[in-house]
Amino acid sequence: MARHLVTSALPYINGIKHLGNLVGSMLPADVYARYLRQRGHEVLFICATDEHGTPAELAAQEAGLPVAEFCARAHERQRGIYRGYELSFDHFGRSSSPQNRETTQEIARELHRNGFVEQRSVRQVYSTADRRFLPDRYIVGTCPYCGYDRARGDQCENCTRVLDPTDLLDARSAISGSADLEVRDTEHLFLLQSRLTGEVEAWLADRADRWPVLASSIARKWLAEGLQDRSITRDLTWGVPVPADTWPELAAAGKVFYVWFDAPIEYIGATREWADAAEGRDWRSWWYEADETVRYTQFMAKDNVPFHTVMFPATLLGSRRPWKKVDHVKAFNWLTYYGGKFSTSLRRGVFTDDALELLPADYWRWFLMANAPESDDASFGWELFATVVNKDLADTLGNFVNRVLSFGHRRFGDRVPAGHPAGEAEQRLGREVATLLDGYESALDALDFRKAARALRALWSAGNAYLDERAPWQQVKADPAAAELTLRTAMNLIHLYAVVSEPFVPAAARVMRGAFDLPGDPVRWVDAERAAALDTVPAGTPFRVPPVLFVKVTDEQTEEWTARFGGR
C-alpha cells in the first residue's frame, strides 16, 4: 500500500471561514483521507492556520488584542469548528510555530547560499498618516486588469492576478483609509524566480498533465507570462523573522518573511509539529528524502494554485534539498452565494460556525460535496440545499434505514432474521451493488467528488428499489420466510452503506454501523466480491432501531434562513 501525504490549503486566521472555504480545500481533503484510510493506506493529513501577514495584524488591532494572543484564540476557535465538521486531520498546526520558523529560516538560508535570494533596495509605499511603510496587503485599490475595486497590494482575489502595490489604481491605506501615500527607499529580500524558470517548467511538465485542467491551466498561465523575481520580506511586527546570522541589517530593521513564503512551508512545519507531539513519529520520511511510495496530494481553491504550483516548488527546487514536492493538485472553483460573493462585512452568506448551529455536519458535508465546484463555479441557495438534503439524505438514505429496521423489529424482533437462502433478486442486487461500488471507488480514486456522490446516491437508491420490488410488508402475509430474506438482505445493505458512506457522512455512518451488535466489527471496506454477497451481517445478529438519521428541511426554515443570511 502507498503512503499518502494529504494537505489542504491553510485557512487564514482572521475570522471564521465560510462554506466556500470549507468545500474548496479542507472538506474534500478529508473525504479523500478517510477513503484512503478505509482502503488500508497509511495516510498523513496535515493542515494548519495561516497566521502571518497583514490581515492578522489588522484583525488583532480591531479586536484590541496583541497579535499573538489574537492568533492563539482564533486558532482554537477554528480548530473547534473543524472538529464539529469531523475533519480528520492527523495534525492541525499553526504557521507561527517554532517548527515552521526554523524550517522557513533554514530554507531561506539555503536559497541564499545557492544564489537564489538577493537583497535589493526598493521603492515602497509609505503612509504619512500611519507613519510607516505599508506591506502589500496594507494597501487596497482598484485592480488595473479587471477593475475590481477592493484588490489587495499582493493579489486581486477577483481575477487572481498577482500584483505589486504600485500597480493599484486609487490606492489607499488599509489601516487608516488615507490616500496620502508616497514612495520611499527600503531594503528587502527577493526570491530570484527568473533563474528557476527552467527548473519549474521541467518539474511542471513532468506532472501537470495528470492534474485537473483547472490546476494545470492556471500554473501554465503563470509560466507563460514569465516568472518574475519576487520580494519575500515585509515590514511587519508579526511573522517569521529574517535570520540575523545571514541578514543582520534586515533583522535589525525588524523585517519578516512574506506570508506566502512561509505559509506553504508550514505543511512541513506542521508535520514536524505532529512528529514532535509523540515519540516514534518521523517527519523526514514524509518530506525529506521521502521514498517513491509517498504520494503527495494538495487540495485548494483556484486562487491558491499559482503559489502552490509555481512559487512553492521554485522555493523547494532552489533550496537544492530533497524535499518532497506535490504529485497531484486538486483545485476547486468558487462556491458563491446566490451567484454573488460571501461577505463577512455585509453579513451575506453562510459561515461554518453558523451552519453547525442550524444543522449537524453531515447535512453540510453531503450537500457541499455533492455540489462541489469542480468544473465550474457553483451557487449555494437555500432552496437547492433543502431539495438535496430532503431527497438524498432524508428520503433516500434515512428513510431506507428507518423503514427496514423499524419494520424488521416490529415483525421479527431484535435479531437479524434468517428466512430463505438468497434468490435471483438478491443475486441481481448483489451484482448491481458491486458495479456501483466499483464506480464509486473509481471516482474517489480520480478525485471526482461529484461523480462519487452520484455513485453513492445510486447505491442508496438500489436498496430502495429492491425493497419496493420485494415489498416485505406484503410478503410477510403469505411467506414470512421470504420477508425475512428481504429484510436480512436490506440490513446487510445498511451495513454496507455505513462502511462506504463514511467519507461523506461519518456521523450517519457510525449510527448505521452501531445499529448492529457485531463485536469489533472489523470491516474497514467492502470489496466488490463481498459487496455482491451481501452477507456481512449474519442472521441472528442483534440490532436496534436508531433515531431518525435525517430530518427534512421545511419551507419555513428555508424562508427564515434566507431572511437571516441574505439571498435572492
Is residue 519 assigned to a domain?
yes
Is residue 349 assigned to a domain?
yes
Do residue 498 and residue 386 come from a single domain?
Answer: yes
Is residue 298 assigned to a domain?
yes
What Rg, from alpha-carbon coordinates, does the chain have? 27
Whole-prediction pTM value? 0.93
Residues paired with residue 294 on neighbouring β-strands, in sequence order? 3
Q: Is the dihedral of CA 45, 51, 52, 53 positive or negative?
A: positive
pLDDT at 170 (0 to 100): 93
The reply, when asked if residue 159 is annotated as ligand binding, is yes
Residue 137, domain CATH: 2.170.220.10
Model confidence at 161, pLDDT cuts 50, 70, 90, reads confident
Do residue 359 and residue 402 come from a single domain?
Answer: no
Say how far apart CA 43 and CA 6 lie, in whole Å. Answer: 7
471 contacts: CB under 8 Å, gap ≥ 6:
none
What one-character DSSP code corresponds to residue 364? H
The reply, when asked if residue 71 is annotated as ligand binding, is no
Is residue 26 assigned to a domain?
yes
* Burial 381-416, CB ≥16 within 10 A → b, else e: bbeebbebbbebbbbbbbbbbbebbebbeeebeeeb
Do residue 228 and residue 270 come from a single domain?
Answer: no
Model confidence pLDDT, tens digit, residues 298-322 = 999 999 999 999 999 999 999 999 9
Among the three residues 256, 289, 306, which one is the final residue of a domain in this structure?
Answer: 256
Do residue 303 and residue 388 come from a single domain?
Answer: no
pLDDT at 201 (0 to 100): 95
Do residue 67 and residue 190 come from a single domain?
Answer: no
Do residue 483 and residue 504 come from a single domain?
Answer: yes
Do residue 385 and residue 529 come from a single domain?
Answer: yes
Pairing of strands 169-173, 139-142: antiparallel
- How many domains does the structure of the chain reveal? 3
Among the three residues 256, 284, 304, which one is the final residue of a domain in this structure?
Answer: 256
Is residue 538 assigned to a domain?
no
Do residue 127 and residue 245 come from a single domain?
Answer: yes
Model confidence at 568, pLDDT cuts 50, 70, 90, reads low
Phi, psi of 51 (to 5 degrees): -110, -5
pLDDT at 2 (0 to 100): 84
Do residue 124 and residue 249 come from a single domain?
Answer: yes
pLDDT at 346 (0 to 100): 63
Instruction: List the domain range (segments joined by +) for residue 278.
Output: 3-104+262-378
- Say what the alpha-carbon torsion angle 258, 262, 264, 267 is, to the nearest 10 degrees: -160
Do residue 320 and residue 374 come from a single domain?
Answer: yes
Is residue 12 assigned to a domain?
yes
Model confidence pLDDT, tens digit, residues 51-74 = 998 889 889 988 999 999 999 999
CB-count exposure of residue 536 (10 Å: 0-12, 13-18, 19+): buried
pLDDT at 340 (0 to 100): 87
Is residue 364 assigned to a domain?
yes
Do residue 415 and residue 507 come from a single domain?
Answer: yes
pLDDT at 413 (0 to 100): 96
Do residue 387 and residue 372 come from a single domain?
Answer: no
Is residue 137 assigned to a domain?
yes
